[in-house]
Chains A and B, each alone.
Chain A
Amino acid sequence: AQSVTQLDSQVPVFEEAPVELRCNYSSSVSVYLFWYVQYPNQGLQLLLKYLSGSTLVKGINGFEAEFNKSQTSFHLRKPSVHISDTAEYFCAVLYTGGFKTIFGAGTRLFVKA
């Protein structure tokens, strides 16, 4: 079965430190990959996406992610986080030819002063 795994349910980090949120998916067939951010009581906002081309994708708010096909991963990184980055982050996968996007369980990023 197709699945998306976010290995860390919570990631605490100090302000201005780098962070990596991990995401792995279950199949190596052709995929589209996404990272979304959700602030409390709000919908999801697209951070970045990989459809094709360069495996390093840059998104909003200084985030970037790298698609690694051999490891079926799409980890999200930011070199220096801010307090305002505290939120829930969801990795999502759409298998090309399919129709449904599959979401990971989410990772809560908590940035401490």
Chain B
Amino acid sequence: AQKITQTQPGMFVQEKEAVTLDCTYDTSDPSYGLFWYKQPSSGEMIFLIYQGSYDQQNATEGRYSLNFQKARKSANLVISASQLGDSAMYFCAMREGASNTGKLIFGQGTTLQVKP
């Protein structure tokens, strides 16, 4: 069973507008972490934001915020004030606490294109 689902293969957003990238997850582990990474065409994975399963507040990092809805098992990424440099592939990932390996399980990714 797929553990991380990103249902939007591609998204467009106008420069300076906000955009939400969807992510749902599935786990029976009560302790887990959720991540968002940005992957530009160069290939490097750039860490954006982390949300722990026990965190009460939604994580924020600059223009990035994570809309964490635990009951719905969703962890959507919100990018505010989009910039041309935000055009990239975005991956949602999960790390299960019980695995004790640190293994990241990735979704299929969403390609974001920011229009000028």
Q: Does B associate with A?
A: no
Residues of A within 8 A of B (CB): none
